Amino acid sequence: MKTLLDENQLNDGVEKLADAINAHYGDKPLTIICILTGSIVLGADLIRKLRMPTRVGVLQTSSYEGTERGDLTINAEMMLDIKDREVLLIDDIFDTGHTLDKVTALVADYGPTSLQSAVLLCKTGRQEVEYRPEFIAFDIPDEFVVGYGLDYNDEYRNLPYLACLEDSDLEPNA
Ligand code: 5GP
Ligand code: MG
Ligand code: MG
């Protein structure tokens, strides 16, 4: 496994992301919706750097089997009431963009005052939708990455750094 972003780089990136979000919303109360499971580490680090009154909720999406994309499922059973609230979606990575594109459309139906999104990573040249997140910490090359919340078959989320998975790391027949 090859390290792409170490702990210091991640910390600096999250700090800048928080600065941009704080500058944009000012003192306005904000509702953060973390998209599980990949955004748990980013969410935990980011919310502690936000200065406005903040509510935190979650919803869950899943679309990957190993390193292959499958059908997207969205579980919004744990959504907060966000009617007439400023809402910021948090996700780990913007890849093809289908996840945030679909989640944004679904969450918009709950009637927020505003709806934006922030991601840790954006994979260069992979996007298949018009939608773009308003806040991006890092643009990265088109490689499958793990760590800092991102998984391969539910492993590696606990790594404190971000790494590229190499062929020798893949499970046989996965
Ligand atoms: P999208 O719908 O933008 O193609 O993909 C978004 C979701 O796919 C992300 O929230 C993430 O869970 C997963 N994903 C996309 N690229 C990667 C990657 O390089 N590594 C990991 N671990 N997950 C990824
Ligand atoms: Mg995800
Ligand atoms: Mg995953």
Work out the mean pLDDT of the chain and round it to a whole number: 94
Which of 20-29, 115-124, 165-174 bottoms out in mean pLDDT, i.e. has the lowest? 165-174
Kindly report the number of other CB atoms within 10 A of residue 57's CB atom: 15
Q: Are 39 and 95 in contact (CB under 8 A)?
A: no
- The CA distance from 36 to 115, in Å, is 18
Q: What pLDDT, on a 0 to 100 scale, did the predictor assign at position 71?
A: 83
**Nearest-atom index, ligand 1, CA of 99:** 2
| Per-residue pLDDT tens digits for 54-71 | 999 999 998 867 777 778
Q: Which of 41, 58, 59, 63 to mutate to test ligand 1, by most ligand atoms within 8 A of the CB atom?
A: 63
Q: What pLDDT, on a 0 to 100 scale, did the predictor assign at position 64?
A: 66
List residues near ligand 1 (CB under 6 A).
38, 63-64, 91-99, 144-146, 150-152
Per-residue pLDDT band for 76 (boundaries 50, 70, 90) equals confident
Per-residue pLDDT band for 171 (boundaries 50, 70, 90) equals confident
| Interval between CA 99 and ligand 3 midpoint (Å) | 12
Pick the CATH number of 8-143 from 1.10.10.60, 3.40.50.2020, 3.40.109.10, 3.40.50.720: 3.40.50.2020
The one-letter amino acid at 69: R
- The CA distance from 65 to 59, in Å, is 19
**Nearest-atom index, ligand 1, CA of 150:** 22
CA distances from 149 to 109, 111, 140, 154 (A): 28, 29, 16, 10
Q: What pLDDT, on a 0 to 100 scale, did the predictor assign at position 52?
A: 98
ipTM entry: 0.97
| Interval between CA 124 and ligand 1 midpoint (Å) | 13
- The CA distance from 163 to 23, in Å, is 30
6, 95, 151, 169: which one is catalytic? 95
Average pLDDT (109-123) is 98
Joined together, the tokens standing for residue 3 give 């390290």
